[in-house]
Structure 1
Amino acid sequence: MKTQNSVPTTKVARASQFMKAGVKVGGNYIKHYSKKLLDPSRSKDELHKDNAADIYDALSELKGSALKMAQMLSMDRGLLPVAYSDKFTMAQYSAPPLSGPLVVKTFKTYFGKSPSQLFDKFEIEAVNAASIGQVHQAWKDGKKLAVKVQYPGVADAVTSDLRIAKPLAVTLLNLNERDIDRYMGEVEAKLLEETDYDLELKRSIEISEACSHIKDLVFPRYYPELSSKRILTMDWLDGMHLKEFLKTNPSQEVRNQIGQALWDFYDYQIHTLRQVHADPHPGNFLMRADGTMGVIDFGCVKVIPEFYYDNYFRLVNPDTIEDDALTEQIFENLEFLTSADSPKDRAFFSGLFKQMIRMLGEPFAVDEFNFGDDRYFNEVYAFAEGLTKVDELKSSKVARGSQDGLYVNRTYYGLYAMLNELKATVVTTKPEWLRSKKVLA
């Protein structure tokens, strides 16, 4: 596997890398339209593929928040052309790793010792590399360990990277600039948290212990004495990432078993702990043939404010949507509607968001849900794609939706997407107050 001997850390060096990607993308457009003059029927598939490769190559060298954004975008089916989603998926666990000397330098910076002095055995070649750090195998006192090493300069570059990447997101991905501005603070705060391995260590221990009773879940033990602000050590867990696991053709029973564990894990975090592992991409779960699943990486945790929780989940109860006055009040609380909206705007956006809530709340409206139903997911993706073409949203002078919704919605999107890939049928457990009284009657 190709390794990197250095990571651009200065603002100038990182900005230059973004500019280089922009120049390549511009050249790809010129090449595409030149060919289209000769062949008007030519599709944009080749253009998307070339752009995706050039952007990914640039971001993978930068590491950090730039690559993390690519990882997040790869989860959002329908937002990007397939070529981008497929390429950016590599950011989840297949980015180019750092070279051995850089890894040793990081250990000496934070421990004053090399990895070989801390562990009985340390594999200098990383077993996988993602957006914020890479993982090495190590052994100590007979135990096999996973050691996560953060890329140098990642934490210091979060704010400047987001500012530099914003124009690329607006122009290339056709994202709404107002929406990006509204959520930038939330994204920046979460990315900064993800670079703080002291915080991740604390949260990893707390949440894994709190969820240890959930059937079929396995959590690693963490080692504070072998961890620091930029290095995190835990037990090595065996298992396969989702796509690799599905290639083994697991039985429907095993798919359902793992799907149920996923649902129960998120149900307990959200409704009991009120904080949630908000990075539900396949790289953070290790699935096994016996239907058990390892859970790793608590770097991205969303603490859900009480006010937001109460309003957001009241909408999940089907009875709420039937009460127009109550629904409108909750939409105001969640900032879907604003005091500046005209009566026409309020009626339009209320109808639009009610449709969205009914659709996304379908799994909560029943006691058991088949996430393998592609009809349901095709409707969801078609609705999401349709939103990008709604003139009222594009021309709206305000961004709609609470900042707290960004990672809560991302969590459910990632959970639903994984359950869909598993083709799992699960019992959709939930608090009693989320059930329709009509159903209970």
Structure 2
Amino acid sequence: MTDIPRRAVSRTAKLAALPLGFAGRTVLGMGKRVTGLASDVISAEIQQRTAEQLFSVLGQLKGGAMKFGQALSVFEAALPEEVAAPYRQALTKLQEAAPPLPAATVHKVLAEQLGPDWRGFFVTFDDKPAAAASIGQVHRAVWRDPEGIPRDAAVKIQYPGAGDALLADLKQLSRLGGMFRAFQPGLDVKPLLAELRERITEELDYELEAESQRAFGAAYADDPEIFVPAVLAATPRVLVTEWVEGIPLADIIREGAEEQRDEAGRLMAILHLSAPMRAGLLHADPHPGNFRLLPDGRLGVIDFGAVARMPEGTPEPIGRLAGMALRGEADAVVAGLREEGFVSGTEPIDAQAVLDYVRPMLDPVATEEFRFTRSWLRSEAARLASPRSPAYQLGRQLNLPPSYLLIHRVTLGSIGVLCQLNAKAPYRAILERWLPGFAPVG
């Protein structure tokens, strides 16, 4: 029925080869260590070769491998520069590119989902995809609405067999945790993969995505800063929405002017922080391929397959504890973290050490304006992930409660994009407006 099942063996073989290649490079590193080559040089060389092969393979795949690659790519800004630089372009490609389906397969899906006379819904339909991603590809078309008025449209078509591909790839990738730590010590991919698996069923249901998009659209109707395209039609495997014309965030990251970067970052922060309060939903897929900077200055959002349902908004303790930390209330911070499950048991813990652990993470909202940079994120990643760091040792005493996992992952992803943008904005004021409980000064 499609090329995806026929490629399954090839895809699995490529993924399976990754740890073998990594093992070979580890042996190479051991050999060089015997000859006296400095261990940090060996480590950097292994990191670069491992990551280069990893992203090369992920970039060739659909299904769960590409979905994981997209999720991982937003953390590119945290990688050491010598590791990230050689294949930053490959990471960006993961955000918006994949091999397209043949036109005959596209037509078959449209006939199955919209009926044999599917062409009657369109004035024109471009067989060449405008964009392709992990579980589907997008075609540009002109939709004929019920009144016969033509409307520029984006037609998202799910790859046949996408569900099976996702599950198979994520199962294979779950075995590669040790390899990822080779180029980013402290990076634990298992929670990320587990959370992606939980999202598969929702993302495969385009009718559910349409429902989420309509909810966002209602929340941001006529908003001067955020634009959500209208849903024109939806079936389980085909979603038709308004076409969004604008500059992809990936292009702004690569070559945008400073004012574009700053404005895109400000709008991203507003969307991330305001959506739970306004829509009761959190946009849970913050990679740059899902956003456009529109000619009128608004941020266009074009993918709602991954959302978190938060009918009560963002949990109030997040804002309250952040404010306490900024005010230096160490004992209150520990008490609040213990109440929320971040500190387990009743064993005593050094409150000042906990505050010292948390406080640097809040630098972006400690002042009126802040510029997110790759160097800032790398320094934070090193502080938290290096086994020699006091923060690393303390972090082993803290937990991430399951109820906060998705919020944590999306926030980290959004920060990764802000650092790629090198964006400066008044983030503290945005938090004060949209984050319940946040009060940085007494």
TM over 0.5: yes
- Aligned position for 2:383: 386
Query: Does 2:161 match 1:153?
Result: yes
CA deviation after TM superposition for structure 1 residue 244, in Å: 2.0
Q: Which moved more, 1:76-85 or 1:103-112?
A: 76-85
CA deviation after TM superposition for structure 1 residue 73, in Å: 1.2
Other structure's SS at 1:361 match: helix
Other structure's SS at 1:7 match: helix
Task: Pick the aligned partner of 1:333 from 319, 339, 358.
Answer: 339
The answer on whether the counterparts of 1:255 and 1:291 sit within 8 Å (CA) in structure 2 is: no
Describe how 1:123-272 pairs up with structure 2 within 5 A. Answer: 123-141=126-144, 142-174=150-182, 185-224=194-233, 227-245=234-252, 249-250=256-257, 252=259, 254-272=260-278
The answer on whether the counterparts of 2:324 and 2:332 sit within 8 Å (CA) in structure 1 is: no
Change (3 A) 1:134 1:31: farther
Per-residue CA deviation, residues 322-350 of structure 1 (Å, 9 max, x unaligned), is: 334432232223432111x743xx22xx5
CA deviation after TM superposition for structure 1 residue 307, in Å: 10
Structure with greater contact order relative to length (CA < 8 Å, sep ≥ 6): 2
Task: Pick the aligned partner of 2:439 from 425, 435, 439.
Answer: 435
The answer on whether the counterparts of 1:8 and 1:62 sit within 8 Å (CA) in structure 2 is: no
* Structure 2: distance between partners of 1:211 and 1:7: 37
Change (3 A) 1:305 1:355: farther
Change (3 A) 1:50 1:258: closer
- Aligned position for 2:109: 106
The one-letter code matched in structure 2 to 1:154 is A
Q: Which moved more, 1:10-19 or 1:239-248?
A: 10-19
The answer on whether the counterparts of 1:8 and 1:14 sit within 8 Å (CA) in structure 2 is: no
* Structure 1: distance between partners of 2:252 and 2:299: 11
Name the TM-score, length of structure 2 as normaliser: 0.80
* Structure 2: distance between partners of 1:203 and 1:307: 15
Other structure's SS at 2:292 match: strand
Which 5+ residue runs of structure 2 have no aligned equivalent?
145-149
CA deviation after TM superposition for structure 1 residue 271, in Å: 3.8
- Aligned position for 2:414: 415
| Sequence identity (%) | 24
Change (3 A) 1:25 1:247: closer
The answer on whether the counterparts of 1:92 and 1:130 sit within 8 Å (CA) in structure 2 is: yes
CA deviation after TM superposition for structure 1 residue 93, in Å: 0.1
Change (3 A) 1:273 1:379: same
CA deviation after TM superposition for structure 1 residue 189, in Å: 1.3
Change (3 A) 1:323 1:21: closer
* Structure 2: distance between partners of 1:308 and 1:353: 23
Name the TM-score, length of structure 1 as normaliser: 0.80
Other structure's SS at 2:71 match: helix
* Structure 1: distance between partners of 2:110 and 2:362: 47
- Aligned position for 2:399: 400
Per-residue CA deviation, residues 88-107 of structure 1 (Å, 9 max, x unaligned), is: 33211022222223322322
Which 5+ residue runs of structure 1 have no aligned equivalent?
none
CA deviation after TM superposition for structure 1 residue 308, in Å: 7.5
The answer on whether the counterparts of 2:276 and 2:313 sit within 8 Å (CA) in structure 1 is: no
